[in-house]
Amino acid sequence: MNPELVKQIDATHLPVHIAIIMDGNGRWAKLRGLERTEGHVAGVESVRKVTECAARLGVKYLTLYAFSTENWNRPREEVDALLHLIVMSLRKEVPHLKENNVSLRVIGDIDRMPAHTRECLEKSIEETSVCDGTVLNLALSYSSRWEITDACRRLAREAAEGRIDWASIDDEAVASHLSTAGIPDPDLLIRTGGDERVSNFLLWQIAYSELYFTDIYWPGFGADQMLRAIIDYQGRERRFGLTSEQVSEHGQQ
């Protein structure tokens, strides 16, 4: 990590949760005359650098959009290559995650994954469960609309079975039925690759997140770019619907 950038970080005001839409692997590869899958392979290095950076700084949660529900519609070979890469990389990275005291968690419709992929994920989660530092939360076969629909379905069922009163369903009840239950909402959402959209990612949870977009393709994003995003975040005033004066009175949240 660049010490000049580290110096600019206010360690008392770190984002607790950073979420990242890792985009641009394909374009990064194309620019170099490589196959798209080689872009994903290079992207794994960025995952490693960014995870290590989060762990060293003490960012508690890092959520990465590694495979969306929509990604199932990509050419079969790319889907297979991507899933294989994710699982193989995780298996390889487990010792490194443990060294950095990082535990793994997964959100998404994991039942759609092949059995051996699920088993591999479960094993990595189990092996890192002793770590109590940063939580690396991988969004796999994930989309926000899937997640919100699933939460609605479960709430409706609980109400129909008389386990909850439908009139008592509030923000908290919905949040506790999302796959991110127990994790605070992201303070900062980063998207690489030049597009400025949220692509069905954590739609409920990013209601008050600061958004940071960069043109850099994901394989070009590393610790220094992450530090720059955090510095940018720390320069913003988060008002959560209040006035600037109210925020100054009560101190930044």
Binding positions for ligand FPP, rule: CB under 6 A: 22-27, 40, 43-44, 47, 64, 66, 71, 82, 85-86, 89-90, 138, 193, 218
Minimum CB distance to ligand FPP, residue 42 (Å)? 8
Q: Which uninterrupted H or E stretch holds 54?
A: helix 36-57
Active-site choice (2, 10, 23, 171): 23
Active-site choice (71, 150, 200, 224): 71
Minimum CB distance to ligand FPP, residue 217 (Å)? 7
Minimum CB distance to ligand FPP, residue 43 (Å)? 3
**Is the Cβ of residue 24 or residue 222 nearer to ligand FPP in the bound state?**
24
Alpha-carbon distance of 253 to 93, in angstroms, equals 34
Summarize the chain as % helix, strand, coil (round to 5).
Answer: 50, 15, 35
71 is catalytic: yes
Alpha-carbon distance of 206 to 190, in angstroms, equals 11
25 is catalytic: no
User: Between the CA of residue 23 and those of 18, 32, 197, 199, what are the distances in Å?
Assistant: 16, 16, 11, 11
Which of 47, 35, 80, 57 minimizes the C-alpha distance to 231? 57
Give catalytic residues, as residue numbers: 23, 71
